[in-house]
Structures are given as C-alpha cells and as structure tokens.
Structure 1
Amino acid sequence: MIINKNQRFIIKTVLSSLIRRRSRIAVALLGVAIGATVLLGMVTLCYDIPRQMGQEFRSYGANLLLMPTNNQPTMDMAEVQKAVSLLPRDKVLGVTPFRYDTIRSNQHPYTIVGTDFNQVTKTSPFWQIDGALPQNPHEIMVGTDIASFAMLTIGSKVTISGKSKQDSRFEEEMTITGIVKTGRAEDNFIFINLHDLEQLLEEKDQAEVVEVSITASEAELKQYIDTITSQSTTIEPHLIKWVTQSETSVLGKLSSLLYLVTLVVLVLTMICVATTMMTVVMERRKEIGLKKAIGAHNKSIAKEFLAEGLVLGVIGGTIGAFCGIVFAQVISTNVFGRSISIEFYLIPITIAVSAIVTVIACLIPVKRAVEVEPALVLRGE
C-alpha cells in the first residue's frame, strides 16, 4: 500500500504529538489497556462459564432421567445404551442404573437398591460415604438412617431375605462396607451391586431408573430429550428440573453481572481517554490556532486527533488483549480450579472494540479542537 505525502505528514505529526506528551498519553494508554483486559477477560469468562459452571453443578447430581415408557416397571439396559449413544460422548460424565426391590432383615422391611457403584460416584458425587463402596459379592452399603435404627456399623453382617421375580425365596448374609449419608431418600436404602441384585431377583439387564449426568444447558438437554424420544419407543427421558432450572438461573445472572461490569469498565475507559485528550487539546490550543491561521482545515485537525485516538486504542487494545488472557486464566484457576478455554478470535475483536471506544471518546475533545478561534488564541486570549 502506497502512502502519499499527506498521510506521511499526518503519521509523523501523530507520533510526534504522542511522544512529546508521553506522560499524559501513558495515562490514557493505561486506561485503554485496563479496559481491554477486563473486556477480553470477562467476555472469555462469559463464553466459558457455562462449561465451568456445568461441571460444578454436576456435583449436585444428575440432570437427566431415563425411565420406561407406558408405565412399564423396567427397561432393558440394551435400550438404555442405545439412548445414551445418542448423547455427545464428550459431555456425558456418568450413567447410573437403579433397580429397586423390597427385602426384610430382622423382620423389618427395607428397600434395597441395585446400582453400578463405579458410575454412582460420577452422577452423585455429593454422597458422603463412611467406609468403602461394595466391591465383592455379598457386600452392601446402608443409609445412615438404617444404620442408626438397626445399630449397624462398618463390618457388621446382616441377613436379608426376599422373593425373586420367579417367586423363589432367597436369604443371604451380607457384609456392610460403607454407610452413606445424603440428607435425602438414600439414607433409608440398602445399596448392593446391580449384578448381585439381579442374581437374587433372577432377572438380568433391567433397570427402573437411569440417572445421567451430562454437561449441557437446559436448551441442549431439551434437544437431547427430543432426539431420544424420536429414536426410542421404550425409554422416556425427563429433565431433573430443580437442577437444570437452578443452573440456568445462576448462569444467566452471573453472565449479566459480568457483562454489566464490562460495560462499566468501558465507560470508565472512555471517560479516562476523553479527559486526557481534552487536556491535550487545551495544551495545544496555540498550535491548533496557528495551524488554522496558516490554512489548516477543521477536517485535517479532526483527523489528526482521531488518528491519535486510534493509535492509542490499537496499542492499548493489543496490550490489554494479551493481559486479558492471563486475567481470565487467573480467575478461572482460582475460582474453578481448572484452566479456561480461550477463544482466540476474541483478540482482534477486543482490539477493534478498544479502538472504536477510544475514537468515540475523542469526539468531544475533537469538537473543542475545531472550535478554536485562531485570532483569539494568537492574541493570548
């Protein structure tokens, strides 16, 4: 690109002005850099917070339920696997099946729950387990209310009895390996490996409820539900509304807060730049008056000041953009304990926004500059 003499003159004038007033320009540059830092950092957090918060919310439990359709008591696990395969694999954190039945122990009725202990810690990380999860046959875990009622401890042996689905009776001695506390219905259940329960019930590969923990927004979950519903006639998916609605509400409010903070910082950046440039205009009144006296047009004077603002915006935006990456990483590491995903296309956008904000901030000082009367200024008035 060829630069003509007029453009070269403007560039030299702009650079000369910036260098001669470097102390004042440094203040404006710092303001622009801080604004760009906050802008990129906050916008990056807004983009990545759904992923970060989604993982944090998964500590409160699953957000999707799979249940049998048409009031059927159970569903086939092969059909469950087909339904789960319709979900994005990289977003699924855990899939936990549950099977319920009634048993007796010491003449008292209890609910026994068969589950996959490897998965239950992924979909229900809030479970507080004293002891260990059952790993071997004839091992169980009991809820804290049952343990208190029956005065059971880790290592206690209990005999459970019941009836299989084939109407044959069973009676087995079990060892307690852990006591679970959730503050919910689980405190009144006995937990056993799903495979072991299936052997007692003489029925395989069946589940009554399957909990799925997946990193997704409420809108995405509804799309997944529609997909599963259209592809499966035996499984009915449901949102766990209290989890998904709470997550959506918190994310919405947090994003609004971050955008508000960003807006406030940009306004303060504009004020900082406008104040600095206004001071520069006042200092250069004689210079502006002299230029106008020897024939400079208002347009050329305006171009000069706007060019200074543009240079400030680009330099400050560039510095702030890279500082914003560090800022976002520090916030994410300290708040969420994990690194953030950087959207690198936001860097040029941040620089462009910084330049636009700076140029807008220069409009009032430019107006004052073009209003300078050469005759009054040169007379010292």
Structure 2
Amino acid sequence: MPNPVQSPKPGSLFWRLWWRALSVKRPQAVLALGSLLVGAAVASLLLNLYSDARRKMTQEFRAYGANVVLAPRAQAAAGIEPPAATIDERSLAPLRTFAAQTPGLFYAPILYSVVRVARADADSPAFQNAVAAGTDFPALRRIHSGWRGTPAPGQSGADYPAGHECALGAHLAERLSVRAGGSVALAPMDITSPAPVTFRVIDLLSAGTAEDDQVFLPTAGLQSLVGMRGKISLVQVSIPGETAEIERAVGELARLLPGLDVRPVRQIVYSEGKVLGTIRWLLLSLTALILVIIALCVVATMTAIVTERRRDIAVMKALGATDAAIARLFLAEGAGLGLVGGALGFALGSWLAANILRRLFGVSLRLHFWTFPEVCGLTTLLAVVATFLVVRIVRTIQPAVALKVE
C-alpha cells in the first residue's frame, strides 16, 4: 500500500519560503542589501576609528605628564615649599594597592631639593644652585613619555640612573658644559655638609619645561645626599580614561589617602575630555545622519519588494495564509538582509579603517570586535523597522483583485 503524501510542516514551509526569498536574485533585494552594507560599513568604520582614536588620544595626552598630583596637605594649605612639607613613603601603601587594581595607572614619587652642582672634572668647580629631583626614573618616564633623551655612549634609552648615576636637564647641562657620559659633583645647600658626591651623567633630558634645568637622581641617592631618608615631596599620577573616570579615581584616592591633598591637573584632564567629547559627538552625529539616509533608502526598497510580490502575497492569502504570517515572513526576510549586510559591512568598514589609519597616520588599527555585534544588531534592527513600516501594504492586498487576469 503506497504511503500517503505528507504535507510539509508549517514551520518548515515558512523557512523554505524565507530562504527562497533571500536566494532569488531580485534587483530590489540586491539594492536593499547594498544599502544596508553601506550603512554597516560606515558604522563599522566610524566606530573603529573612534575607539582607536580614543585609545591613541589617551596615549598622546600621557605625553603631557601627570593629570593628578598628590601633595602634603600642609603644603597645599599654607603654601609651604618642599622640602619643608614632605610625605612619608610608608603612607603610600594604599596608592600602591590602588595602582595594582587600576590598569594603565602610573605614579612616580618625587623628592625635590635645592642642591649645589658643578662639573666634576673642573680644576676649580664653580657650583651653581639647581633643583634636584629624586624619583623612580622608569615610572617618571612612563608618565612623561614625550621627554627626549640623549644617552651617554654605551647607554640606551632604556637605561635609567641607578646608584651614583644621574640625568641632567638639557639647559642645566649646557650651563655646566657637561655632556652625556661626563660627571657632576653634587652637594646639599648646607655648607657644613661633607664633601660633594660625584655622579655620572648617563642621559641628557629635553622636556621643554622647567625640568630642563633640573638634575634627576634615584630617590635613595637624593634622600641620602640631603639627609631625608624615607621622605618625598609629592607624587605625580597618570590616570587613564575620560574626565568622569579620572574624577572618580581622584575621589577614591582622596578617600584612601586622607592625609594628602589629591589635586587633578585640570588643564590636562578637561582638555582631554573636551577633545574626546568633540570627536565622539562628531562621529556619532555622522553615523546617525548616514543611517537615517540608509533607512529611508531601505524603506523605499522594501516597499518596492512588497509591491512587486503582490501576486505572491495574493496566492498565499488564497491558500489560507494570514496577514500576520505573511508579515512575519517579510520581517524575517528583512532581518536576514540586515544580518548579511551587517556582517559584510563590518568587514568592509574594518578594512577601510585600517587603510585610513595606515595611509594617513602610519599606524595600525587595533580591531575592536565588540563593534561586530553592535554593527550587525544595528543593521538588522534598521532592516526590521524599515520592513515593519511597509508590511501594512499586505493587509490592503485582496487575492481576487491581485489575481484577476488583466
């Protein structure tokens, strides 16, 4: 006995119709897919450029130095100059813990003191007064990445002062007629102090600021020279992020270090926030404008698709399909076009962003894969909304009228 012919399941038939609608090469569907692809490519391009610009702008602003300074509260209130007001290094334990928990945060404790400095190999050294900075030099250079150095012969830019070594500001080195690799004699201002201590100059720094007239020593070396062991004058801190993130970190540091005055360097903090805010507003505005134009194009295209398939819709209605079922079919078709257009547009936009950064700025793009679901979701939503606006045409189609032979 022959097996009865089984009718296809409603769900299977729905997806077969959906796949047929996507796979048949219709000019209107290709136009809709192209429009969504362009919108996704633009969104991917701008989002990747903004994310990378935000990262690179933060790195560039780091070159301007610390955006937060920790100073003794007495110094801030009474205007006392260091070294009269100092910080005990042991009180910075909460800062070390906070820095370990905050990626990208750098800090450099600094002890400032006025010392006498002269060229060590001179027959009769002519001492001059200069500001000496005792610091963790690797940490200070991470904060001031824009400083330029001229290392001594046999040294590299990665070598930092240690022991009886120092770095001289370019202006101070010029006044002393000292070159990298030479030596200077340092002595505290107290005339009753022991003989001057000789330090080898392993680097000449050019910062373009007051640091060009300073001499930089390891913290322990300056503390020993001036008799201030365990003391520092202030702490320079570089906190990554935008203005709101920096202000939150400042509030947390003020809570952790109640004995210190936590002061943001507002020129750097707010300049960085203003630039990033302007870039964000510009890119988001351009993206929104382009997506609105793409949405209008998709609405027009989906209207043409529905109108072109009036006879197909009439046949489905004549066979018992409801308006809601037909509307779901078109919405699924729009979602499919949006998903495919979003994926292809993301790849195209990422490629364009990488080429723009390489050709204009000579840097490589750090691809942000979190933009992929955002771009695909945005284009899918755009296609679904555009389709939803036109499926009302389905309700107006009458099978008897649409199928009548002209």
Band the TM-score falls in, shorter-chain normalisation? 0.7 to 0.9
Query: Cα deviation per residue 1:145-168 (whole Å; 9 max; x = unaligned)?
Result: 22233333223333333335x963
CA distance in 1, matches of 2:187, 2:37: 72
Identity %: 26
User: What's the offset of the Cα at 1:9?
Assistant: 5.3
User: What's the offset of the Cα at 1:98?
Assistant: 1.6
The aligned counterpart of 1:232 is: 257
Aligned-pair RMSD on alpha carbons?
3.8
The yes-or-no answer on 1:250 pairing with 2:301 is no
User: What's the offset of the Cα at 1:17?
Assistant: 3.8
The aligned counterpart of 1:124 is: 144
CA distance in 1, matches of 2:336, 2:297: 16
CA distance in 1, matches of 2:261, 2:192: 29
CA distance in 1, matches of 2:321, 2:368: 51
User: What's the offset of the Cα at 1:67?
Assistant: 1.0
The yes-or-no answer on 1:161 pairing with 2:159 is no
1:222 equivalent among 247, 256, 260: 247
The aligned counterpart of 1:31 is: 35
The aligned counterpart of 1:198 is: 223
CA distance in 2, matches of 1:21, 1:97: 68
Alignment of 1:1-381 (within 5 A): 10-39=14-43, 42-43=46-47, 50=54, 53-71=57-75, 73-104=85-116, 105=118, 106-132=126-152, 135-163=161-189, 168-285=193-310, 302-320=327-345, 337=364, 339-340=366-367, 342-343=369-370, 350-363=375-388, 365-367=390-392, 375=401, 378=404
Name the aligned partner's letter for residue 127 of structure 1: W
Q: Is the 8 A contact 2:187 2:225 kept in 1?
A: no
Q: Is the 8 A contact 1:163 1:169 kept in 2?
A: no
Q: Is the 8 A contact 2:108 2:135 kept in 1?
A: yes
Q: Is the 8 A contact 2:99 2:105 kept in 1?
A: no
Q: Is the 8 A contact 2:67 2:237 kept in 1?
A: yes
236-245 vs 321-330, which deviates more? 321-330
Q: Is the 8 A contact 1:117 1:193 kept in 2?
A: yes
**Residues paired across the two proteins, number:** 375
Q: Is the 8 A contact 1:67 1:210 kept in 2?
A: yes
Unaligned runs of 5+ in 1: none
* Pair 289,78 (structure 1): closer, same or farther in 2 beyond 3 Å: same
* Pair 217,286 (structure 1): closer, same or farther in 2 beyond 3 Å: closer
Name the aligned partner's letter for residue 145 of structure 1: H
Q: Is the 8 A contact 1:91 1:214 kept in 2?
A: no
CA distance in 2, matches of 1:161, 1:352: 67
* Pair 208,313 (structure 1): closer, same or farther in 2 beyond 3 Å: same
CA distance in 2, matches of 1:135, 1:297: 81
User: What's the offset of the Cα at 1:292?
Assistant: 7.5
User: What's the offset of the Cα at 1:90?
Assistant: 4.3
Normalised to the residue count of structure 2, the TM-score between the two structures is 0.76
Secondary structure of 2:196 counterpart: strand
CA distance in 2, matches of 1:110, 1:143: 10
